[in-house]
Structure 1
Amino acid sequence: MSHHFVSVFLLFSCTMMSETALRDLNLLPKSERSNEASSKDVLAKPYVEPTDENVGGKQRKNVVSLVEPPANGNEVGHSGTEVVVAEVEYIESDKLNDLEDVDESLKLLLDGLGSKDWVLLCETLNNVRRFSIYHKEALQDILDNVISLVVKALKNPRSAVCKTAIMTSADIFKAFGDSIIDLLDPLLVQLLLKSSQDKRFVCEAAEKALIDLTIWVSPVLLLPKLQPYLKNRNPRIRAKASMCFSRSVPRLDTEGIKDYGIDKLTQIASAQLSDQLPESREAARSLLLELQTAYEKSPVLAPEQDAPSDQPQVVYTWEQFCESNLPKLSAQAVLRVTSITKEGLVSGL
């Protein structure tokens, strides 16, 4: 009788434990369930997303648990397992120190950028930043390979890697400026994506990098790169591209606007006025005001007219210019925006 009771009790206990374990496993995210089911790479480097973003204006850090697998190859979880806590720190460019050994760091650079060890990858990305700031000439011969690996890091699902790669992109823009224009496309598309659909602190870093891009790459080269994204199917990418475009155009001087074509720029801005996202529409309004100001200050921007040489040239007003270069409804929308905004500025004086 007692043996029967013990058997029933053990069977009941095992059943309860199995149900509890199954329930706990089902509560885990899918990725963690996969790790639970595998004993080969389980918990090699579990990752904890930061929860103290920008607290008190301090630098943000990712606190990461690095659990070393035991030497005997058994599953992690046995007593005595060594747990190491590391911090991935986002260091501002002006706080980055120079490299201790330039030659050795250069030898290890490409291998480090290709590493699957994401902590080493972050460290190497910061070394790319140091090279860009202190020894950019050392990167010249391998810049295309470096940028390809930075783009790969931008696609990394770990936020720490992604943000560090974004900061690296910004330092590359500052260091190399116009000389990276032929390598820009893959960087640009990733930054537009990250600024529009990622975690907040990653979005902020990507937006800052895009601002740096418009500062350090001349508009005459950058605008043609941005223009295709103004028609992207993703409205958030269109919005970020519109904001970059609007920031870049004012950096053109009068001759630059004339060469690019003020009629073309006005048509681009008018198309963004009807975009579904307010960021795109606001960028378009800002750009149209810049174009209106440039047009009214510089008659050279006005289109040349066929007239007898003995008669003075008649300069189109802004209204006439819009009506002659845009469809009727688009011209009305542009004039409504520029006149209302201008009236508002005058009344606020």
Structure 2
Amino acid sequence: MMSETALRDLNLLPKPERTKETSSKDVLAKTYVEPTNENVEEKQRKNIGCFVEPPLNGNEVANSGAEVVVVEMEYIESEKLNDLEDVDKSLKVLIVGLESKDWVLLCETLNNVRRLSIYHKEALQDILDNVITLVVKALKNPRSAVCKTAIMTSADIFKAFGDSIVDLLDPLLVVLLLKSSQDKRFVCEAAEKALISLTMWVSPVCLLPKLQPYLKNRNPRIRAKASLCVSRSVPRLGAEGIKDFGIDKLIQIASSQLSDQLPESREAARALLLELQTAYEKGPVLASEQDAASVEPQVLSWEQFCESNLPKLSAQAVLRVTSVTREGFVSGL
């Protein structure tokens, strides 16, 4: 069982020592083998028990004579993670642990990355690029327990480092967008939480340019998740920030997603359009801002602004969404 200090073999622990507190768990079969080499990785394994991957063929397990035990895997929420007892020691073996093929050791090391991010982020700064590269590798691991722990690690990294992670974001972002749209529910939910953390802790000015390419991705699920991230990120700009970023660019983004394949994309686009409409009405654009030759600047209405920045059919679709929603809101008062 993965406690706050280690992953433990439930079959080797007496019942009173088994911890009940957990947010979610996996129960997984492993083959127990006594370690022989006294290298750094083996020494680190001893702190958590030494496990190796079970053979794919069930007959091989029976013939090997190895003892098959059950490991109960615990996913620890960020607020329940305790600080490391020895930061320097953990740092020395961090990269080795992240490169390990032992999935139990890998999960524990990922949790140590989380602890470092929460309590000692300055200690990770110099090796952050290497750490993120290995976290991305763990995100792609076919074992769900490793994948989910890596997703939770990503969320804690976003919170700890914010905008300073932007240059390292691309490989993380594409995998999280994909994982958030997969069929395994508990992996999908974890990835969605990580993306929410991303939009919460990385500023929209830095994040939106990173998200834009994924709005045109060939995979409709990736486009949908990117649309949701955009719709969550834009409100953090505020009315003035939206205008500074370019409300004309944002309305074009929302318009393109309004006719996308998946309902999730379309709903995100509708939410974004309403946010843009509200922001626009707080500070409407002057005609002179769009036409420098205009002698008498006039304030453009929302309808006029849409029509001047979008193709006719797209403008009609946008206005249909915003007017219908606005009318529904007024009638409900």
What TM bracket, shorter-length normalisation?
A: 0.7 to 0.9
- Per the alignment, residue 180 of structure 1 pairs with 165
Structure 2: runs of 5 or more not aligned: 1-20, 36-58
TM-superposed CA distance for 1:303, in Å, is: 6.0
- The answer to whether 1:324 aligns with 2:308 is yes
Aligned counterpart for 1:64 among listed residues 6, 28, 33: 28
Q: 2:114 aligns with which of 129, 132, 149?
A: 129
Distance in 1 of aligned mates of 2:34 and 2:104: 20
Unaligned runs of 5+ in 1: 1-56
Find the residue that maps to 1:116 and give its secondary structure.
coil
* Deviation, structure 1 residue 60: 1.2
Instruction: Tell me how far apart the structure 2 counterparts of residues 79 and 144 of structure 1 sit (CA, whole Å).
Output: 41
Structure 1 residue 256 displacement after superposition: 2.2
Deviation at residue 298 of structure 1 after TM alignment: 1.2
Task: Please list, as runs of the form range in 1=range in 2, the aligned pairs for 1:1-349 lying within 5 A after superposition.
Answer: 59-68=23-32, 75-77=60-62, 81-299=66-284, 304=289, 305=291, 306-308=293-295, 311=296, 313-349=297-333
Partner AA of 1:266 in structure 2: I
Whole-angstrom CA distance in 1 between matches of 2:241 and 2:324:
27
Shift of 1:62: 1.2
| Residue identity in the other structure for 1:142 | I
- Aligned Cα root-mean-square deviation (Å): 2.1
One-letter amino acid of the structure 1 residue matched with residue 105 of structure 2: L
Which deviates more from structure 2 when the two are superposed, residues 315-324 or residues 298-307? 298-307
Matched AA of 1:332: Q
Task: Tell me the distance in 1 between the aligned counterparts of 2:163 and 2:107.
Answer: 26
SS in 2 for 1:299: coil
Q: Structure 1 residues 75 and 297 mapped into 2: Cα distance closer, same or farther (>3 Å)?
A: closer
Q: 1:148 to 1:348 in 2, by over 3 A?
A: same
What CA distance in whole angstroms lies between the structure 1 residues aligned with 2:187 and 2:325? 33
Q: Which residue of 1 aligns with 2:40?
A: none
Cα distance in structure 2, aligned partners of 1:169 and 1:209? 7
- Distance in 2 (CA, whole Å) between partners of 1:69 and 1:136 is 35
Distance 1:162 1:79 in 2: 29
Aligned match of 1:4: none
> Contact (CA 8 Å) 1:177, 1:217: kept in 2 or not?
yes
Residue identity matched to 2:164: S
CA deviation after TM superposition for structure 1 residue 198, in Å: 3.9
Is the 2:158–2:198 contact (alpha carbons within 8 Å) kept by the matching residues of 1? Answer: yes
Query: Taking structure 1 as reference, are residues 111 and 348 closer, same or farther at Cα in structure 2, changes over 3 Å only?
Result: same
- 1: CA distance between counterparts of 2:326 and 2:251? 17
Distance change (3 Å), C-alpha of 1:144 and 1:303:
farther
Distance 1:264 1:302 in 2: 17
* Paired amino acid for 1:191: L
Partner residue in 1 for 2:55 = none
* Superposition TM-score, scaled by structure 1 size: 0.79
- Conservation of the 8 A alpha-carbon contact between 2:227 and 2:268: yes
Identity %: 82
CA distance in 1, matches of 2:308, 2:81: 53
Q: Deviations over 1:16-68 (max 9, x none)?
A: xxxxxxxxxxxxxxxxxxxxxxxxxxxxxxxxxxxxxxxxx962111122223
Aligned residues: 289
Q: Label 1:259 to 1:283 Cα distance change in 2 as closer, same or farther (>3 A).
A: same
Does structure 2 retain, via aligned residues, the 8 Å contact 1:97–1:130? Answer: yes
Q: Would the aligned equivalents of 2:204 and 2:237 in 1 still touch at CA under 8 Å?
A: yes
Larger Rg: 1
* Alpha-carbon shift at residue 258 of structure 1 (Å): 2.1
Asked whether the 8 Å contact 1:267–1:326 carries over to 2, the reply is: yes
